[in-house]
Structure 1
Amino acid sequence: MTMDAPPIDLTHHFLIAMPGLSDELFGRSVVYVCEHTPKGALGLIVNKPSGITLGDLFERLELPLGRPQWADLPIMRGGPLQTERGFVLHDDMGEPQPLAPPEPAPPAVAEPASALGAWLQAAGAGAPEPESAADEAPTRPPTVYAASLKVAGSGLELTTSRDVLEAISVGAGPQRLLVTLGYSSWGEGQLESEIADNAWLTVPADPAILFDVPPAQRYERAMALLGLQPWMLAPGAGRA
């Protein structure tokens, strides 16, 4: 009698590309996993600069940059999906504070079949591809911004709505952030299969690597969390 292996949850983990992964975008990449459920996974590549800075982005949006020290902050290529859309990974801003006594609760509304799909739609990104990550969890916790996903167990949020950038434009908003264009996703069982094929190493994420380490050093620093250096691994060797 065989027993199925329990599902793994790599939320708030790094995926570190093995040397044998030769894809132009994912080769030597570090992916931060924002959500991983039995239905799939959602993540951001965090070490591939796009050539655009935060100052460039705010200029294009015709917004002042209220944090001038962030003008040269590089924006990453987050993945091959929705590459025209910005994704902002930042410190959890806490729960929204009501400005007036709450109104009576409205009638219950059926939960969308795909919580991630609902999140993307709220952000104006449209529904994800059928193979994208999705889950059937209860309604997500409320957030300060219009379209945010709280990353479980991390103290971080992923926001796609413009309001986080508008807050930064007046010097408010999160104290740390990482911005990407696009995101990455895996369908049901796809990430697990790639890990079994030795495409990725996995390790619990260190936010300092996201926010404090220059992009060019993030691959080596993520490897170091496992006590490894890239030269120690030959293509096809090792196990995630």
Structure 2
Amino acid sequence: MDEQFQDLFKIKPNRKNVAVGDILIAEPFLEGRYFSRAVVYIVEHDEKGSIGFVLNKPISYTTSDLVTELKGMDFPVYLGGPVEQNQLYYLHTHSELPDALHIDDGIYWGGDFVHLTRLIREGKVLPEEIRFFAGYSGWEAGQLQKELEENSWMVGNMERTRLLQLPWSELWEKSMSDLGGRYKIWANFPEDPIMN
């Protein structure tokens, strides 16, 4: 096989650092239930560690199934990661929600749940303005940096509209493709090469 062609499939990171508001895009061959072809939105990153939410792993339950206060409100729920899966977390665009933490580009994390419930019932929070997660992804101090150095993740950015509105099934491919160059080829690489 041509050496230049072989080089296309060598895992090479695009960046070795990450910041709050960035996305992590799993390299094409990363395996596992939580992170295979995952796109993770980073909401916290400092010397103590990192926290993020997997954006593209829906579960078979809606908010109505999981939370009594949201009975009849069928918002999709995503598997945010392997930590605290019995807790519901949310990213949204509503700056008026008390105690919401601004992340980046008009994206907020959490906030007063009673107030949120009222806004949803009044039709003031739409499905394309919020994303719910069961659990989150967490890294201890230095752990994410080590994974970046092992080339497990590419680092990218994502516009607010894409983060909340792009269908989950397109997130990994579009995010990888947006990095350009060799990453466009990776984006089209089949999940199971045998099926190609």
TM-score range, shorter chain: 0.7 to 0.9
Identity among equivalent positions (%) equals: 29
Query: RMSD across aligned C-alpha pairs, in angstroms?
Result: 2.5
| 1:119-162 Cα distance to aligned partner (Å, 9 max, x none) | xxxxxxxxxxxxxxxxxxxxxxxxx324x3221x3211110642
CA contact (8 A) 2:105 2:159 kept: no
In the aligned structure 1, how far is the partner of 2:69 from the partner of 2:17? 43
Q: Does 1:18 align with 2:20?
A: no
In the aligned structure 1, how far is the partner of 2:45 from the partner of 2:138? 10
Structure 2 unmatched ranges of 5 or more? 1-15, 192-196
Structure with higher Rg: it is 1
Distance verdict in 2 for CA 1:233–1:189, change over 3 Å:
farther
| 1:196-228 Cα distance to aligned partner (Å, 9 max, x none) | 101001111222222211111111111122122
In the aligned structure 2, how far is the partner of 1:53 from the partner of 1:210? 19
Aligned-pair CA distance for 1:232: 5.4
1:222 is paired with a residue whose SS is helix
TM-score by length of 2: 0.76
Q: Does 1:191 align with 2:193?
A: no
In the aligned structure 1, how far is the partner of 2:190 from the partner of 2:124? 43
Q: How many residues align?
A: 170
Q: Which has the larger helix fraction? A: 2
Distance verdict in 2 for CA 1:75–1:63, change over 3 Å:
closer
Match of 2:165 among 174, 189, 212: 212
CA contact (8 A) 1:64 1:170 kept: no
- Taking CA–CA contacts closer than 8 Å with sequence separation of 6 or more, which of the two structures ends up with the larger relative contact order? 1
CA contact (8 A) 2:22 2:42 kept: yes
CA contact (8 A) 1:45 1:78 kept: yes
Match of 1:37 among 32, 46, 63: 46
Match of 1:79 among 57, 60, 81: 81
- After superposition, where does 1:77-226 map in structure 2 within 5 Å? 77-94=79-96, 144-146=97-99, 148-151=100-103, 153-159=104-110, 161-163=112-114, 164-173=116-125, 176-226=129-179
| 1:13-68 Cα distance to aligned partner (Å, 9 max, x none) | 110111231122111111011121122111000000011124434xx414465xx7
CA contact (8 A) 2:174 2:187 kept: no
After alignment, is 167-176 or 24-33 more displaced? 167-176
TM-score by length of 1: 0.63
1:224 is paired with a residue whose SS is helix
CA contact (8 A) 1:87 1:160 kept: no
In the aligned structure 2, how far is the partner of 1:38 from the partner of 1:77? 25
Match of 1:27 among 36, 41, 44: 36
CA contact (8 A) 2:17 2:148 kept: no
CA contact (8 A) 1:47 1:219 kept: yes
